[in-house]
Amino acid sequence: MRSPLGRVAGSGLAGAAVGAAVAGIWAASWGSDLGCPQPTRASVDTNFCLPIGVWLLAMAVSCMVIIAGVWGGFTLLRLGPRLATVPGGCVVVALMIFASAGVIDPLKHTSPPSLWLAALEASGGLAAFAVVAGGRRVWLAGVLALAVVVAAAITVPPLVRQHQLADARLHQFMALGFPLEAPSVPGYYLSAATTSDGVLLDVIDQPTAHQGPSEIVVVIGPVASAWAAHQRAQCTGGNAVSSGPLFACSAIRPSAWLWANSTIGNKIMSEHAGLMAIASASSQPSTVSDATLIAAATSLRMTTAATLAGLPA
């Protein structure tokens, strides 16, 4: 294939194939448990385990795929001199694939790149590099095209990853399976939300700085759940971890209780409409009063999964 346009198109196809293959290798290595024994129910694994062997194997195979794909593509396209174009093409493809994961530094990756995004960016990078290697007459145009592709490769993946994370958080809130609620306390705003083990964690705070911590965490879950039973056990002494109650509990109003503990701080528990809510200061010592905790646990309003997903975790 001797036409410049054909070489650019062929290079793009080769880059797409290499990018998709490498992204698939990374995805397989990310989901592998090789080298890290899984803890059983009778044991608790507290040691950090990095399957370095799997990671190195994935990197080695990825390098071979990139070299073979670029060399084979440029050989078929007769894009030379290959002693210069193949190493340059390999570097460009590798950088594009790393960028498609959201960051250039591979040690900071938290998940593998999407196959379609890695294929798209590797395709654009190798096609632009083919223009650079096409000769002096199109060299400047190729450099400009490569600069545009690199800029897009750095800018687009974080936006895609942010959208994917927002979708994942939305599904997490929707999967809770009970009405979503948030505290409504005068002088406080909903600052963060997340899920954990089937319950909802709302965080409220004051918009202006005050003396001492003012952040409050409100945990909400179904009354008829193992989580709610475990919480009640901290007052009744049924907690198997402790020989007695962790809190001195007293009713302050119908379906609301004060959990008193001078060491770790007080909590307020309330039950309504099939839900249990527990409000406590996020840190100790705290200036949050019991009256504010009561309002946080009892003054709840309906909210939506979209609203909670739009907040920080």
- How high is the pLDDT of residue 155? 78
Q: Say what the pLDDT of residue 276 is.
A: 93
| Domain-ending residue, one of 173, 189, 206 | 173
Is residue 111 within 8 Å of residue 30, measured between CB atoms?
A: yes
Percentage of the chain exceeding pLDDT 90? 18
Asked if 187 and 105 sit in the same domain, the reply is no
Same domain for 143 and 99? yes
| 41-45, 126-130, 268-272, 304-308: least confident range | 41-45
Q: What integer pLDDT is reported at residue 103 of this predicted model?
A: 54
One domain, residues 49 and 9: yes
- Give yes or no: residues 137 and 228 share one domain: no
Q: Identify the weakest region by mean pLDDT among 7-21, 136-150, 257-271, 284-298.
A: 136-150
Q: For residue range 7-45, what is the model confidence (pLDDT) as tens digits? A: 788 888 998 999 899 888 887 776 655 545 544 434 444
**CA 149 vs CA 16, 125, 140, 152, 156: distances in Å:** 14, 6, 14, 5, 10
Residue found under tokens 């694994």: 45
Shared domain for 227 and 267, answered yes or no, is yes
pLDDT per residue as tens digits for the range 194-218: 998 889 999 999 887 655 578 899 9
Q: What percent of the chain has pLDDT over 70?
A: 79
Same domain, 10 and 147: yes
Domain boundary among 140, 173, 206: 173
DSSP 3-state of 70:
helix
pLDDT value for 240: 44
CATH number at residue 253: 3.40.1000
147 with 86, same domain: the answer is yes
Mean pLDDT along residues 248-256: 84
Let me know whether 74 and 126 are in one domain: yes
Inter-residue contact 298 to 182 (CB < 8 Å):
no
Compute how many other C-beta atoms are within 10 angstroms of the C-beta atom of residue 296. Answer: 27
- What is the average per-residue pLDDT within 173-200? 91
Long-range own/partner contacts, residues 134-137 (CB < 8 A, 24 or more apart):
134/4, 134/7, 134/8, 134/79
Instruction: Give per-residue pLDDT as tens, 122-136.
Output: 888 888 888 888 766
Chosen domain end from 132, 152, 173? 173
CB count, 10 Å around CB of 159?
10
Residue-level pLDDT at 52: 58
C-alpha 51: how far from chain center: 20
Number of domains in the chain: 2
**Are 167 and 21 found together in one domain?**
yes
First to last CA, the chain: 52
- Does the pLDDT value for residue 47 go beyond 50? no
User: What value does the mean pLDDT of the chain take?
Assistant: 79
Q: Give the model's pLDDT for residue 312.
A: 82
Q: Mention every residue, 6+ apart, whose C-beta is less than 8 A from residue 3.
A: none
Contact 304, 189 (CB under 8 A): no
Looking at residue 199, its pLDDT comes to: 93
Q: Is the pTM of this model over 0.75?
A: no
Task: State residue 113's pLDDT score.
Answer: 75
The boundaries of the domain holding residue 197 are: 181-309
